[in-house]
Chains A and B, each alone.
Chain A
Amino acid sequence: MAGSGSALLSVSGLGLSLGEKGPPFLRDVAFDLQGGETLCIVGESGCGKSMTAVALMGLLPPALSRNLKGRMVFEGEDLSLRDNDRLRALRGRRIAMIFQEPMSSLNPVFRIGDQIGEAWECHNGSGGRAKALEMLERVGIPDPEGRLNDYPHQLSGGMRQRVMIAMALVNDPALVIADEPTTALDVTVQSQILDLMRDMQRRRGMGMVLITHDLGVVAQIATRVAVMYAGEIVEHGTVEAIFSDPQHPYTIGLMASVPPISGPRQRLTVIPGRVPLPSALRPGCRFSDRCPFATPVCATPPPARIFDNGHVALCHHTPVESLAEAAAWA
């Protein structure tokens, strides 16, 4: 599946704006994903991570999807991101999604066995309950026979996220898009869920797009990382490259703002300011008003600087000499 050059998913030119001439939320988002790989999309709130995920699923509200641009090649099939009929046919069957809020993402009036079964039956016809039981076992829910008839409110948050995963994976999709799947869970449950997702992925060779703002999660699970800022992927590379040799000032800032687990306690480094609203975007580098390295040249669109191993950063000032240079941050 992960043949060289034939990616499982290849997204190109994904753009989204409010209205015909409105400011773009998303600008030229593009990435490739091989089967079995995990691409983590990271960035702070409001940078367009979730919007990207929802756009790939064809789940944008109609008012927004009118202004969606871009194509994706999925399993060799080239389709427009506005081809809602085709996307709906893929949804749940070949592309599945895991949501952020397990507490509210299950229908409160149906037994979980029926919900998982329904996800199976709407693409395969019958046999939903047997499949649901099998999936509950696979996602490690104790006493699956008994749980089959439970309602969502009878389960804990971690259990519900397992049910969501069971629902997403019941049709053996080739691609899973997970939008902050662990954010609403407490830390111990988080790592169990991540382990489960990684395990399921390994067994089935799925590609996974994981959206998160938690760099700990990224380090644990990612193959490659795409850093998003204000609707653009500003840096893209393998997880090693991004963590050990971040090149874009925004990535450097993100890394610097993770509290160190050892060493003397000090004030946390923060990136001053916040993500600009789409209406306040300027031409040129979108990060320049918060960037300590910004110079007048940053008012022009930044070039894509390519490093080895597919590591790309969108900045005039790369390559950055070292992390020490970034220490001047605060």
Chain B
Amino acid sequence: MSTVSDAPDAVLDRPAKSRAWAKFRAHRIGMFGAGLVGFFVILAILAPILPIQDPIATDWGAVRQPPSSTYWLGADEIGRDLLSRMIWGAQASLLAGVVSVGIALGLGVPLGIIAGYFGGWTDAVISRCTEALLAMPFLILAIALAAFLGPSLTNAMLAIGIAATPVFIRITRGQVLSVAAEDYVESARAIGLPTHLILRRYILPNVLPPILVQATLTIATAIIAEASLSFLGLGQQPPAPSWGSMLNTAKNFLAQAPLMALWPGIAIFVVVLGFNLLGDGLRDALDPRSD
């Protein structure tokens, strides 16, 4: 017995986690995305200790200055260092992306699991509400919510998070429908596991991979949404730096100081690209069919 069944097992002897990781590492574009994201994350985390200038300190002698040895990316309309504002702005953008997606996950995944697992009336109510929210364009919904909650970065994150929730309810519900039909869920019921444990230990971990991919892609959308809200004055409030509000002021000086608009534009573009590529890589790595 042991000799017969040990042989094929030895071949299969590879931990599950490292398989997805190996696939991801071999995914060049995904790794590139991860690199871009990592770069901005490190910048954002290190913002307080980097030898950069105070992002809100003004220098009236440097108003709208082009890049120089003092102001590497130039200075804005009241002489604040653009490099410093970009790095601190990265913090606001990434925070907004991660926190709002966190909110969307925290609301959407439990609701989706409940809808998918229990079905019936619960599902009908949750699904109809989801569809009603999905009928509204994401950004319009976020703007309406942010305007309703009042302008601040926290409220903007909350608004974006709520606006992004229906997508997660949908995806989670769909995944739960397929996972709940798996034999191992029935065998969990057969060993007498209470429902909350089945949901937590059998349903949740098995529905996570596609949700993780969607979360990564949604961070990119959320960053754009945060920039849009800040651009409209509903997000980060001056003088605190944010890429969106930087773009807003820069649009007034496009002829005199185009670089003021260029930097935040490039930064938003690159970060969003990074998250999208990362999401693609994760999708390929976590998809069991792409072996």
Tell me whether B16 and A105 are in contact (CB under 8 A). no
Are A159 and B191 CB-contacts (below 8 A) given A99-B186, A140-B1?
no
Q: Give the residue of B2, B191, B205 whose beta carbon is less than 8 angstroms from that of A109.
A: B205
Tell me whether A104 and B183 are in contact (CB under 8 A). yes
Tell me whether B201 and A110 are in contact (CB under 8 A). yes
- CA separation between A91 and B187, bound complex, in Å? 11
Tell me whether B183 and A93 are in contact (CB under 8 A). no
Q: A107 on the interface (CB 8 Å rule)? A: yes
- CB neighbours (8 Å) of A88 from chain B are 192, 194
Tell me whether A142 and B1 are in contact (CB under 8 A). yes
Tell me whether B191 and A92 are in contact (CB under 8 A). yes
- CB neighbours (8 Å) of B183 from chain A are 99, 101, 104-105
Stretch of A117-125, A202-210, A213-221, A301-309 lying at the B interface: A117-125
Are A93 and B192 CB-contacts (below 8 A) given A107-B206, A108-B16?
yes
Q: B61 on the interface (CB 8 Å rule)? A: no
- CB neighbours (8 Å) of A167 from chain B are 187, 191
- CA separation between A81 and B38, bound complex, in Å? 57
- CB neighbours (8 Å) of A110 from chain B are 201, 205
Tell me whether A108 and B184 are in contact (CB under 8 A). yes
Stretch of A6-14, A17-25, A147-155, A269-277 lying at the B interface: A147-155
- CB neighbours (8 Å) of A164 from chain B are 187
Type the 1/0 row for B210-242, where 1 means its CB is closer than 8 Å to any CB of A: 000000000000000000000000000000000
Q: A1 on the interface (CB 8 Å rule)? A: no
Tell me whether B188 and A107 are in contact (CB under 8 A). yes
Considering the complex, give the chain A residue whose CB is closest to the CB of B208: A109
Question: How many whole Å from A84's CB to the nearest CB in chain B?
Answer: 11
Q: A174 on the interface (CB 8 Å rule)? A: no
- CA separation between A146 and B146, bound complex, in Å? 55
Q: A97 on the interface (CB 8 Å rule)? A: yes
Are A108 and B206 CB-contacts (below 8 A) given A59-B190, A140-B1?
yes
Residue tally, chain A, CB below 8 Å to B: 38
Tell me whether A118 and B193 are in contact (CB under 8 A). yes
Q: Give the residue of B1, B9, B16, B184 whose beta carbon is less than 8 angstroms from that of A155.
A: B9
Q: Give the residue of A91, A106, A108, A154 whose beta carbon is less than 8 angstroms from that of B13.
A: A154
- CA separation between A59 and B191, bound complex, in Å? 11
Are A154 and B12 CB-contacts (below 8 A) given A101-B183, A110-B201?
yes
Are A97 and B190 CB-contacts (below 8 A) given A104-B184, A105-B183, A107-B206?
yes
Q: B202 on the interface (CB 8 Å rule)? A: yes
Question: How many whole Å from B167's CB to the nearest CB in chain A?
Answer: 24
Are A123 and B192 CB-contacts (below 8 A) given A118-B201, A154-B12?
yes
Are A122 and B193 CB-contacts (below 8 A) given A104-B182, A151-B15?
yes
Are A158 and B16 CB-contacts (below 8 A) given A57-B190, A105-B183, A109-B205?
no
Considering the complex, give the chain B residue whose CB is closest to the CB of A61: B119
- CA separation between A156 and B187, bound complex, in Å? 18
Type the 1/0 row for A100-134, where 1 means its CB is closer than 8 Å to any CB of B: 01001111111000000011001100000000000
Tell me whether A153 and B191 are in contact (CB under 8 A). no
- CB neighbours (8 Å) of A123 from chain B are 192
Q: A2 on the interface (CB 8 Å rule)? A: no
Chain B contacts with A in 91-117, Cβ cutoff 8 A: none
- CB neighbours (8 Å) of A91 from chain B are 189-192
- CA separation between A253 and B190, bound complex, in Å? 34
Q: B5 on the interface (CB 8 Å rule)? A: yes
- CA separation between A271 and B188, bound complex, in Å? 38
- CB neighbours (8 Å) of B9 from chain A are 154-156, 159
Considering the complex, give the chain A residue whose CB is closest to the CB of B8: A156
Which interface residue of B189, B190, B194 has the most chain A CB atoms within 10 A?
B190
Type the 1/0 row for B27-69, where 1 means its CB is closer than 8 Å to any CB of A: 0000000000000000000000000000000000000000000
Are A122 and B16 CB-contacts (below 8 A) given A104-B183, A140-B1, A154-B9?
no
Considering the complex, give the chain A residue whose CB is closest to the CB of B4: A188
Q: A96 on the interface (CB 8 Å rule)? A: yes
- CB neighbours (8 Å) of B193 from chain A are 92, 118-119, 122
Tell me whether A153 and B187 are in contact (CB under 8 A). no
- CB neighbours (8 Å) of A156 from chain B are 5, 8-9
- CA separation between A147 and B193, bound complex, in Å? 23
Considering the complex, give the chain B residue whose CB is closest to the CB of A152: B184
Considering the complex, give the chain B residue whose CB is closest to the CB of A155: B9
- CB neighbours (8 Å) of A153 from chain B are 12, 16
A-B contact pairs, 11 of them (CB 8 A): A88-B192, A90-B192, A91-B190, A92-B192, A92-B193, A101-B183, A118-B201, A154-B9, A156-B8, A164-B187, A168-B190
| Among all A-B residue pairs, the 8 with the closest Cβ atoms | A92-B192, A92-B191, A142-B2, A91-B192, A97-B190, A119-B191, A105-B183, A109-B205
Known: A142-B6, A167-B187, A192-B1; 7 extra A-B contacts, CB below 8 A, are: A59-B186, A59-B189, A101-B183, A110-B205, A140-B1, A156-B9, A168-B191
